[in-house]
Structure 1
Amino acid sequence: MGHIPNGGDGPGQHVARRQDGDDDRHHLGRGPGAIGRLYAHICHGPILDTRDAATASRRGVRPAESARERRVVVPAGQDWAAERRGAPVRIIHAADLHIDSQFDGLSAALSDHAAADLISGATRSAFRALVDWALVEQPDAMVLAGDIFDGAWKSTGTRRVFLSGMTDLADAGIPVFMASGNHDAESVLLHDVVYPDSLHVFPVHEPRTFELPDAGLAFHGQGYATPAVEHSLAREYPAPLPGLVNVGVLHANVGATAGHRNYSPCTADDLRALEYEYVALGHIHGRREFVDGDRVFAAYSGNLQGRSARETGAKGALMIDFADPTRPDLMFRPLDVLRWEFLDVEAATDASVDDVLDAVAVEHSRARDRHAGTPLVLRTRISAMPALAAQLRVDGDFAEQVRDVTTGSLLEKVTFTSLESDEIGPPVDAELRAEVQAAAASLTPADVTELLAEVRMRARGPLKGSEIDLSSGAYLASVIERAGEDLLSHLSVESSGGDS
């Protein structure tokens, strides 16, 4: 592929032209961006979204002569190449930014104006932290592996925040390669938007390769045409380009990970078979590496900002160093501005309410130390003897007291668990315990439904005011679990009282 310097497309620019056999490969130079030169370099489909020549001209985009003949005008990149020559190739990998998505379980905290501002702006702040980190580190490129947005923009502010970050990266000469995921497959953002020419979006109907020859990189990827992609995209990805560091960008559920929709399903073997140096994954919100021997060949970066109690711990992005392309070196960088944490407190058998509060304060202090001062959202679980647990459940002031001893953090919820009965008082007869546990284990939701129907019949009418949901398998399973626990607790208390 030859670059044509100072050609008919303007002084100081290189034009990457299609040659035989290139097909969907795009050669991209690299150099300082300019706010004034913005191009709608969007590949949401097999061809740029140029509905007519006039629209294309206004956007600074040339209508392609055909779906497979396209030229990409990019900065020359000569100054950059001289500065970076000999330095190890590095990229930043981020995914699942979900900019401006809503947080779960924090309605109570919204009455505090400072907390409300922190919560509502958390995903934007984390994105800004990602951009600022890139500006400091100056990687060769950044990849965004899907779900950058949480669906259609909720406000024009979403557009402004994202474009501001992309423009800053363009001005620093950092190209971005972005694939859409299930949440932003139909996002308005992917249409009718003018982007910096340094932002390259993978098409959604076929995979494409963007080549960055100055850096020795090739990026292969495909986005989502619809929110539910149920076939494997990875199996259609192209072969690696010889002599370059090949990076796949893919939003997928690898290995049918539980708790996540099985979109673009594939296996670790599918990724290994690509023979890329690295595959940057999105969709799963926890960090995970896929290793072949001592080589990481793919990874989930996790999401950028935790949004619920299901997403605990530090969140951020990865720096991938290809000093040895056969063994990429991954470094995690926390970028979240708000962090979810569980506090597990087990009360002693003779504990008082004050003792429990003291224990909560100690665990809170430890959590703050672990997270180096990052603001925390707490879900606190108190495990106590049945009598104390019951007392705390009905104490309307206890949650406020917990909030008082966890000052500086947001309290999402307090839950209570009765300690196992074999930890309190004389043990229940082993055979009786085994019978109770076996009986509870043998029950099914269908059994509970049948038993409750009989109760309803004997009550000669519906169970008014009840919270029984016979249509919920999860609810019925919880009834079974609680029934066994409660029966064992009563047996334990009776056994303890009889021996005293």
Structure 2
Amino acid sequence: MKKVSFIHAADLHLDSPMAGLRELPQPILKRLRESTFAALRKIVDAAISNDVDFVILAGDLYDGDDRSLKAQSRFRTEMERLLEKNIAVYAIHGNHDHLQGTWVKIAMPDNVHIFGTETGAVRHRAKSGAEVWIYGFSYPSRHVTEKRIHTYEKRIGGDFHIGILHGNDGSSSEHGNYCPFTVGELADKQFDYWALGHIHKRAVLSENPPIIYPGNIQGRNRKETGEKGCYLVQLGENGAQLDFIEAFDVIWKEAEISAKGARDFDSILRRCLDWKERLRNNGTGVLLSITLKDVNLEDGSEWDSLHGSLAELIQDGEEGESSFVWTHRVAIEEEASWKREELAAESDFYNELFQLAGKFDDINDVLEPLYGRLPGRKYLSRIEKDEGNRILAEAEHMLVHLLREKG
């Protein structure tokens, strides 16, 4: 029976600097900065243990167009492991590691095929005897904003046809709209599988034919939560079988913890510690963001003096753990003792305050002067709408709380 098996991974971002995380303890920060390499090693382990025909890497192998020597060297080491098992690698470069950059080049072993700037096709003979055509191109520069799907021309013959594409289907505003396409355009090519890259969130855009974003292999910030890894794909006469394989070494997680009914600081601390233990992963690290809801202590002064120590107490003892759970953020949502409508009705001042607050539909509008200027725009990324709404709500709650407290 004609069949083929392969690993599909994308967005390795090897040697990512993990910018903006300097507040982490050095052992955990070092672990996080090594995590992309650890994830790649797990992917290679999976390819070898499953005896696949080849590995597909759909763009952004490296985090920048300068391709650090460390990243290239580590990548080559893993490719050599695949070479020893006679496993081929088909890869493209994306917008982060485009071919226009300047770097000191380290040669890759013969089993690695990197597609050039023009869409090409390579024929692979699988262990089953199946003839597989694999198509793809690498970004010639960072900004490839035009459609390229028309350049994928299906070859005559072959048992399976697989397209590799690093681009945006328009479903995510978090990533640049590079090499845009629609699911319909890909399906019209009548390929057996589309191996996508660029979007860091795992997504199955279509099951027939499979059009797949595997997501990135390792979360690099608190927006990239959840399990990260790659797909083990098996194509046969009866269609496709997809199995997700976890590869992350550190995972970002969020927890909402209700403090309702807790009347002292220690009760809240114990709830947070219990949650921390529930989220502990054997062998991997966890970076945890906690939102503490419905805080209403009997002694408000106690909370005011101690809530700043909560994160420190939750973090205690985690620095030396291999399966650490490090709480990098604690957000507090106190149980409101007031209602917006009632305050607005009883006071013109509060009514005007809430009207003014309502004009801030998007927090990024307020921060626009920072985004548009150096050095601010070099270090700031735009805040997502949900996060912006949360910040604005917290600011309003804090302001009203202070005004009512001072009378």
2:288 is matched with 378
Which residues in structure 2 correspond to 1:374-453 (within 5 Å)? 374-385=284-295, 391=303, 395-404=307-316, 408=321, 409-411=324-326, 413-419=328-334, 421=336, 424=337, 429=342, 432=345, 439=355, 442-444=358-360
Deviation at 1:124, TM superposition (A): 1.0
1:304 to 198, 209, 217: 217
- The 1:353–1:166 alpha-carbon spacing in structure 2 relative to 1, beyond 3 Å, is same
Map Cα deviations across residues 33-86 of structure 1 (whole Å, 9 max, x no partner).
Answer: xxxxxxxxxxxxxxxxxxxxxxxxxxxxxxxxxxxxxxxxxxxxxxxxxxxxx4
Segment drifting more, 183-192 vs 223-232: 183-192
Alignment partner of 1:344 out of 256, 264, 267: 256
- Flag the 1:378–1:483 CA change in 2: closer, same or farther, 3 A: closer
Matches within 5 A, 1:347-366: 347-366=259-278
Aligned residue among 54, 58, 61 for 1:148: 61
Q: Secondary structure at the match of 1:378?
A: strand
Moved more, 248-257 or 388-397: 388-397
Does the residue aligned with 1:121 lie in a helix, a strand or coil? helix
Contact 1:361 1:406 in 2 (8 A): no
For 1:238-317, list aligned pairs within 5 A.
238-239=153-154, 241-291=156-206, 295-317=208-230
Provide closer, same or farther for how the CA distance between residues 392 and 106 of structure 1 changes in structure 2, counting only shifts above 3 A: farther
Q: TM-score, normalised by structure 1?
A: 0.67
Deviation at 1:194, TM superposition (A): 2.6
Give the equivalent residue in structure 1 for 2:142: 227
User: Per-residue displacement from partner, 1:313-356 (whole Å, max 9, x unpaired)?
Assistant: 1111101111236x311110001111111122221254321111
Identify the residue that residue 216 of structure 1 maps to in structure 2. Answer: 131
Do 2:163 and 2:191's aligned partners in 1 also have CA atoms closer than 8 Å?
yes
> Post-superposition shift, 1:92?
0.7
* Cα deviations by residue, 1:203-240 (Å, 9 ceiling, x for unpaired): 11x21111114432110111100011101122321125
Aligned residues: 380
Larger Rg: 1
Asked whether the equivalents of residues 62 and 97 of structure 2 are also in contact (C-alpha less than 8 Å), the reply is yes
Identity level (%): 25
Partner of residue 151, structure 2: 236
The answer as to whether partners of 1:426 and 1:492 remain within 8 angstroms in 2 is no
**Unpaired segments of 5 or more residues in structure 1?**
1-85, 450-467, 495-500
The whole-number CA distance in structure 1 between the counterparts of 2:310 and 2:177 is 41
Q: Secondary structure at the match of 2:216?
A: coil
CA contact (8 A) 1:163 1:195 kept: yes
| Alignment partners' CA distance in 1, 2:65 and 2:98 | 9
State the match for 1:39 in structure 2. Answer: none
Q: Does the aligned pair in 2 maintain the 1:440–1:484 contact within 8 Å?
A: no
Q: Residues of 1 paired with 2:401 and 2:187: CA distance?
A: 52
Distance (whole Å) between structure 2 residues aligned to residue 491 and residue 367 of structure 1: 38
Instruction: Tell me if the contact between 1:240 and 1:274 (Cα under 8 Å) persists in the aligned partners.
Output: no
| C-alpha RMSD over aligned residues | 3.7
CA distance in 1, matches of 2:258, 2:42: 37
CA distance in 1, matches of 2:85, 2:240: 24
Q: Which moved more, 1:173-182 or 1:206-215?
A: 206-215
**Residue aligning to 1:127:** 40
Q: Structure 2 vs 1, CA of residues 431 and 477 (structure 1 numbering), >3 Å: closer, same or farther? A: closer
Task: Give the alignment of 1:435-474 within 5 angstroms.
Answer: 439=355, 442-444=358-360, 471=369
Instruction: Check 1:297–1:111 CA distance in 2 against 1; reply closer, same or farther (3 A cut).
Output: closer
